[in-house]
Amino acid sequence: MAEGHLDCEHAILEAHFPPAPGGSYEPPAGGRAFERVDAHLVGSLLAKAANTSAPGDDRISADIVKVFWQWDTQRFVQLVRACIRLGHHPTLWETAKGVVIPKPGKPDYS
């Protein structure tokens, strides 16, 4: 049971963001693009995400991700770096749904 903002923050981070495993990693030759990822880059890209966009299949909206970003910036940077370093992105992040909204006076999109 969490009481107060800090207890809630700690409970969410503990439940959904376990500590990163220890150890070192040596990228394959030529695979060092992940080293250019830092908090400024991730934060600037996240700031461009619209809070009003619908959540994806993971049901996590951009405004929730931005709250988590404020709570634990470094963990998000590590996550993005790991995805780029390993060349793997969770399947849920790779899907999108597009919806065509017809507008008056525009051609039929069908």
pLDDT for position 26: 64
pLDDT for position 29: 62
3-class secondary structure, 15: helix
Q: How is the chain split into domains, by residue range?
A: 36-92
Tell me the whole-structure pTM to 2 decimals.
Answer: 0.61
Q: What is the pLDDT along the chain (110 residues), one digit of tens a residue?
A: 778 888 888 887 777 776 766 777 665 666 788 889 999 999 999 999 888 877 777 778 888 889 889 988 998 899 899 888 888 888 777 777 777 888 888 887 77
CB-based burial of residue 69 (10 Å sphere; 0-12 exposed, 13-18 middle, 19+ buried)?
middle
Going by C-alpha positions, the residue among 51, 63, 42, 58 that lies closest to residue 95 is: 58
pLDDT for position 47: 92
